[in-house]
Amino acid sequence: MPMEEGGGSSETEFVNIDTASYSLDSSAIFHVVTDIIAFILFMHQQIPSVLQDITQEFDELRAEFKELEVELAKNEVKAISTRRKQATRKREVKMGIRRFEKLMACVSNLKSALQLMFAEVPTVETISLVLGPSPLRPLHVYELSFPQGSVVSGDFSRSKTADNLSRKAIRTMISSGAGADSYAGPTKLFLLVKAPSHLNLPLHFLPKREFRQNRKRVPLRLRFRCRTRDPQMNAQLNDCANSDGLIDSASNDLIWFQCRHTIKGIAFRTSPPED
């Protein structure tokens, strides 16, 4: 997997994604992370279409199901053929809801856990997104490193900064070959956060002190960088990370925290079966 523009595939290499802002708030980081999660699921064929379309379809199916329930519950006399059509459609809608229900619940739970974390934690430095049977047996790993000192924001509305960063990140991932390999069937997406061990993360995140990433699978590392008011300091401040994308882990006692919530891909056909 390509790691750095114009470089090789060494573990220590990053792809830098720059923003014109002087700082990133937790709301912008939240939206960038969730957009990248949605992209990973789609590009690795864990969902049949982009997550935004699935969410819209799921909401429309639930709304239609409620309308059909109301119509069928009415006491007014209707033609038998009309009631049969409505009952048949109700069954079809229910099947469609069941198809996406578990996926949407998993996505919602993961987003809620992330939102709670970003609302409480002043700095998020590295997030690892692991696609595979388990974090110890990854098929793909994506590491996102963020500048230190991010501002906590209770307002999680989208911003232009978040939109621009998401587009840059996704373009970079595509150019780096994300999702170019063959489909391996439904699997799980795990989210881990690297942070100081003394940090009180929400209960959605479990400390994994002994966790070590599988060295056989080299991650694609994206490093988000902000501007500084002193242009001569940009490179020094933004490139101060070590090979793990962070300052010395020994002096800060950094460990991985794993989110309790995972997202499991759903089985679907990408093409009709052959005769």
Query: By the 8 A CB rule, do 197 and 113 touch?
Result: no
Number of domains in the chain: 1
Is residue 10 included in any domain, yes or no?
no
Reported pTM: 0.82
Domain presence at residue 149 = yes
DSSP symbol at 122 = S
For the domain that residue 149 is a member of, what is the CATH number?
Answer: 3.30.900.20
Residue 167 lies in a domain: yes
CA atoms 20, 26, 31, 36: torsion sign? positive
The rounded distance, in Å, linking the Cα atoms of 173 and 3 is 9
Q: For residue 172, give its domain range.
A: 15-264
3-state secondary structure of 194: strand
Instruction: Specify if 5 maps to a domain.
Output: no
> If you count them, how many residues does the chain have?
275
- Strands of 72-215 (E only): list them: 126-132, 140-145, 188-196, 205-208
Domain assignment present for 108: yes
Tokens representing 48? 């049949």
The position carrying tokens 């969410």 is 55
At a CB cut-off of 8 Å and minimum separation 6, what does 124 contact? 26, 29, 117, 118, 146, 150, 193, 195
Under a CB-based contact definition with an 8 Å cutoff, are residues 40 and 181 in contact?
A: no
pLDDT by residue for the chain (275 residues), tens digit each? 443 333 334 445 888 998 888 778 888 899 999 999 999 999 999 999 999 999 999 999 999 999 998 888 776 656 777 888 888 999 999 999 999 999 999 999 999 999 999 888 866 779 999 999 999 999 999 999 988 766 777 678 888 889 999 999 999 999 888 777 767 789 999 999 998 888 888 999 999 988 888 888 889 999 998 876 555 444 444 454 433 443 444 445 889 999 999 999 987 755 544 44
Does a structural domain hold residue 273? no
